[in-house]
Amino acid sequence: MSKKSRKKSSKTPSVSPTAKKTPVKARAATQTKSAKTQRTPASKSTGIIAKTASHKAAPKRLNSSKSASAPKTAAKAGLAEGQKAPAFRLPRDGGGVVALSDYAGQKLVLFFYPRADTPGCTREAIDFTRLTGAFAKASTAVLGISADPVKAQDKFRDKHGLGVPLISDETHAMLEAYGAWGEKSMYGKSFMGVLRTTMLLGADGKIARIWRNVRVDGHADEVLEAARSL
């Protein structure tokens, strides 16, 4: 073997190991980058899921707080026997004004009716008119209340010869204070309106009796008996 051949053969092994090592480093670097690339979307997607979950959880907490406060609102809407009757001052048929203070020291019947000159309300108002003398002997005054305007109350009174004052509460302030305004339904439709209710107030200004969801037939006579026994 010549000297030139030996030199070439001695250089050849020194090159081949370097060439083999370079692809290994390159592969390692590539694997590291791919691993980072795979981890990055996972962390981002986790963050998105966490944010989405937090947004979904918020409405549930709000809904639960609303449902918790609902019973308190409902409790405030109505009155119970033994409570002080809320004060009021409203216009009546004939152009006058009626206030609770006008009946201080006297028993008072308040009958709330849905609408003037409708069949049930007409029968109820006529029944209370029929018994006005008996209520007077029992030291009890009677007032009818609805959300109708004063003109409608005037027509209602004149048409049926009614003898009890008819109060107009167009703003529903008194109706709501006494729990006689709420949701009703008819023919599958829901709406807000006057709930047929009657209350008997004692001479001390407190609510002695409450009748809700009143059935007109015989109702006025039942209220009279309660006023006599009070």
End-to-end CA distance of the chain: 140
Instruction: Please compute Rg for the chain using Cα positions.
Output: 42
Q: By the 8 A CB rule, do 216 and 197 touch?
A: no
Q: By the 8 A CB rule, do 93 and 153 touch?
A: yes
Strand, coil or helix: what is 141? strand
Token pair in block for residue 183: 């949701």
Q: Residue 184: in which H helix or E strand, if any?
A: strand 181-186
Active-site amino acid positions: 121
Token pair in block for residue 198: 């009657």
Strand, coil or helix: what is 6? helix
Single-letter amino acid code for the residue at 202: G
- Helix axis angle for 119-130 and 150-160, nearest 10°, is 60
Strands 140-146 and 107-112: parallel
Count of residues making up the chain: 230
**Nearest residue to 148 (alpha-carbon basis) of 118, 176, 178:** 118
